[in-house]
Amino acid sequence: MLTWPHPHSDWQDSLPEVEPVYVQLAGHIAAREKVLINCWDANHAEHVGRLLKKAGTFFPNVMLHILPTNDTWVRDYGPITILRESQPVLLDFIFNGWGNKFPAPLDNEATQRIHRNDIFGAVPLRPVNLVLEGGSIEVDGHGTLLTTSQCLLTPTRNPHLNRGQVEATLGGLLGTSRVLWLEHGHLAGDDTDSHIDTLARFCDPHTITYVACDDPADEHYADLKQMETELHAFRDYQGQPYRLLPLPWPSAKWDEDGRRLAASYANFLIINGAVLVPTYDDPADAEALRRLQGCFPDREVIGVPCLPLIQQNGSLHCVTMQLPAGVL
């Protein structure tokens, strides 16, 4: 699922730069699986359709859906799918604009409105009275959840819950049996309070790839070294040390106001038969693709230029939400 940038969002001044990113992204996905695209209104949907057809997108796999939104970060307000007795169930968590940083009433209602529009068919939807963004959690499929304390324990999300209560609540909702908490790790320019999907990701239940800074003069160096030490101390669900694969460190990226941008190769997206990886017109791009190909030898690893996305503080994984077979 994608939400296409529109003039009523923060993309209003940069649509010519960001829409080509979405065209590429939708094209790669539609070549391999269905892609649901939320559009502001009927005219916007027609516009999106024209762009995709002009680019040669495999249109039988494209579903255009009218859904006014505040913004496009569907990873954080889309449904999180669990399987109950092998059948999908959609969990609709509260989205409060990353700890009330930004107004997000339309985004918070998005999953319910999509469900009411029958896009998810007979798949049940369960509202959850908990603030949680999809980009803040990683799971291994074997009961392990990886996250950051800076995000999940911030008082602007669920101030009534302590660490143990968050673990128990997520365990009951997601079926996880343990939580690996990272106490360190951040990217300048990130306004999510250190979402895990910009820092460390599961490639398989025994492998974690992560951002690693090799420049002692960089502001991130000490904190990411401490995060690396934490990752080395973690054990997989079988009690063994993880296979840890560092990702290269891109050169610093800045916006026109001199603000550093959060460029991360960890923000990749796994789809059917492929892994889409953000690239940043950087010398490290090729090495990032090579290393991730080693993590996913049975999938095609494809770079998607994402410099326009990080101008608004996110990247490729942040603008997408996977929906398992049987949901659409």
Listed in sequence order, the residues at least 6 apart from 142 whose beta carbon sits closer than 8 Å to its beta carbon are 205, 237
Identify whether 327 is part of a domain: no
pLDDT band of residue 236 (cuts 50, 70, 90) is very high
Distances (CA, A) of 105 to 194, 296, 319: 22, 38, 18
Please give the structure tokens belonging to residue 284: 């490290």
Residue 60: CB atoms within 10 Å:
8
pLDDT digits (tens, 9 = 90+) for 152-165: 999 999 999 999 99
Burial class (CB in 10 A: 0-12, 13-18, 19+), 14: middle
Domain contains 243: yes
312 in a domain, yes or no?
yes
Task: Report the DSSP beta bridge partners of residue 66.
Answer: 39
Q: pLDDT tens, 85-115?
A: 999 999 999 999 999 999 999 999 999 999 9
The pLDDT assigned to 316 comes to 97
Cβ atoms of 294 and 275 closer than 8 Å: no
- The mean per-residue pLDDT over the stretch 277-301 comes to 97
Q: Distance between CA 301 and CA 294 in Å, rounded?
A: 10
Residue 80 tokens read as: 């999180």
Return the number of other C-beta atoms located less than 10 Å from residue 88's C-beta.
17
Q: Which amino acid makes up residue 26? A: A
HSE (CB half, 13 Å, CA atoms) of 1?
28
Amino acid at 58: F
**Domain-located, residue 324:** no
Q: What is the DSSP letter of 235?
A: B
**CA 4 from centroid of its chain's CA atoms:** 15
Q: Is residue 151 part of a domain?
A: yes
Domain tally, the chain: 1
**Which residues partner with 260 through β-bridges?**
254
User: Could you tell me if residue 325 is inside a domain?
Assistant: no
Q: 69 in a domain, yes or no?
A: yes
Q: Are 62 and 37 a contacting pair, CB within 8 Å?
A: yes
Neighbours of 107 (CB within 10 A): 25
pLDDT band at 245 (very low <50, low <70, confident <90, very high): very high
Please report which confidence band the pLDDT of residue 249 belongs to, taking 50, 70 and 90 as the band edges: very high
DSSP assignment of 131-198 equals E--GGG-EE-SSSEEEEEHHHHT-TTT-TT--HHHHHHHHHHHH---EEEEE-----TT--SSS-GGG
Mean pLDDT of 176-194: 97
pLDDT at 63: 98
Type and span of the H or E element at 278: strand 274-279
**Phi–psi pair at 85, nearest 5 degrees:** 55, 45
The reported pLDDT for the residue numbered 51 is 98
Q: Say what the pLDDT of residue 32 is.
A: 98
Residue 84 belongs to some domain of the structure: yes
Which pLDDT belongs to residue 14? 96
CATH number, domain of 134, equals 3.75.10.10
What span, in angstroms and rounded, lies between the C-alpha atoms of 319 and 219? 27
d(CA 97, CA 223): 25
Strands 269-271 and 274-279, bridge-based pairing:
antiparallel
Rounded average pLDDT over 45-53: 98
Express each pLDDT in 304-321 by its tens digit: 999 999 999 999 999 999
Say how far apart CA 190 and CA 287 lie, in whole Å: 23
Please tell me the predicted confidence (pLDDT) of residue 44: 98
* Domain enclosing residue 121, as ranges: 2-319
Task: Give the model's confidence band at 175: pLDDT under 50 very low, under 70 low, under 90 confident, else very high.
Answer: very high
| Model confidence band, residue 60 (pLDDT cutoffs 50, 70, 90) | very high
pLDDT per position as a tens digit, 16-32: 999 999 999 999 999 99
Res. 238 pLDDT band, cuts 50 70 90: very high
Average pLDDT value for the chain: 97
DSSP designation for 240: P
Mean pLDDT of 230-240: 98
What backbone phi and psi angles, to 5 degrees, belong to 262? -90, 85
